[in-house]
Structure 1
Amino acid sequence: MTRWIAKTCDLETCLLLRRKVFIDEQNVPEEEEVDTYDETAIHLLAFEGDTPAGTARIVVQGEVGKIGRVCVLKEYRGSGLGADLINAALEQMRDLPDVTIARLGAQTHALGFYERLGFAAFGDEYLDAGIPHFDMERAL
């Protein structure tokens, strides 16, 4: 099966994937999951064959590209798709002339995953939608 990840304008599919992972699985309230950043963010959609399997978005704030709303459907977790999605987001940011830092809010249980991709945690643990997180960043 061919895996591919691309920048997309198909926000509807991205939101459907996010609904399955964040709202249905993790019980994140819908009003906290969908926000106004979706209108201006760069959205990535990951496919396994013809099946949408994951998504992420990038919100640009000055020199920082914030990767967020990263999700992979349960049946594709552990396949490397999440790492491919983060690497695709980093490649997208490298093409943005003013962006020099990649930042994200990682669920605490995923710190090791992001550390393997070159991110380092900073600051204190905090709750986002009731889920423990740390901010992490890395240079591009």
Structure 2
Amino acid sequence: MLTWQLLTFDQLSNNALYDLIKLRIDIFVVEQDCPYPELDNKDRLPGVNHLLGYEGDTLVACARLLPAGVSFDGVSIGRVAMAMSQRGSGLGHRLMAEALSQCERLWPGEAIEIGAQEHLQGFYGQHGFKTFSEVYLEDGIPHVDMRRVAR
């Protein structure tokens, strides 16, 4: 059974922090063969929340929810990741639905922006995001900026 936790940096236990960083590095650095500064000092900023999805005691999904002005002018979601073992299970859509719900609870009436890998535009489009930038390279990977207007 999948359970969700929404925690600030200070609320993360040592084990939760380790699992979060490991999952993100496993996906963004190792799987995508992309050495980049995973620890960017945004994780511990005031107002930043970490959404953690657990299957039992195992962290299988995560996303970082950021207030306006941290990554974009508006509220944003970043570091969206899920364990390889969960791919194709629909967990990605459940993760985004939960992230959007939490953003709407934390920052009602705000648009949400993301920097999405270009090949995931269709996925994020299913959650109401529309592309508003040209393709750009971030850490050698094509990205686009996308926005979901407030509902």
TM-score, normalised via structure 1 length:
0.90
Cα distance between partner residues in 2 of 1:101 and 1:80 = 24
C-alpha RMSD over aligned residues: 1.7
**Counterpart residue number, 1:4:** 3
The yes-or-no answer on 1:21 pairing with 2:31 is no
Structure 1 contact 64–99 (Cα < 8 Å) conserved: no
Q: Does structure 2 retain, via aligned residues, the 8 Å contact 1:5–1:46?
A: yes
> Quick one: which of 125, 128, 134 aligns to 2:135?
125
How far apart, in 2, do the equivalents of 1:99 and 1:135 lie?
A: 20
- Counterpart for residue 41 of structure 2: 36
Change (3 A) 1:53 1:123: same
- Residues 43-82 of structure 1: CA deviation (Å, up to 9, x unaligned): 0111223321111101111572210000111110111111
CA distance in 1 between partners of 2:44 and 2:148 (Å):
25
Report the counterpart of residue 83 of structure 1 in structure 2.
93
The structural deviation recorded for 1:11 is 2.7
Shift of 1:28: 2.2
Identity over aligned residues, as a percent? 39
Partners of 1:28 and 1:94 lie apart in 2 by 31
- SS of alignment partner, residue 94 of structure 2: helix
Shifted more, 72-81 versus 93-102: the winner is: 93-102
Q: How many residues end up aligned between the 2 structures?
A: 138
Structure 2: runs of 5+ lacking an equivalent = none
SS at match of 1:5: strand
CA shift, 1:85, in A, is 1.2
Amino acid at match of 2:124: Y
Which consecutive residues of structure 1, in runs of 5 or more, have no partner in the other structure?
none
Match of 1:51 in 2: 58
Runs of 4+ in structure 1 over 6 Å off: none
CA deviation after TM superposition for structure 1 residue 97, in Å: 4.2
The answer on 1:114 being equivalent to 2:124 is yes
State the match for 1:137 in structure 2: 147
1:12 Cα deviation after fit:
2.4
Larger proportion of strand: 1
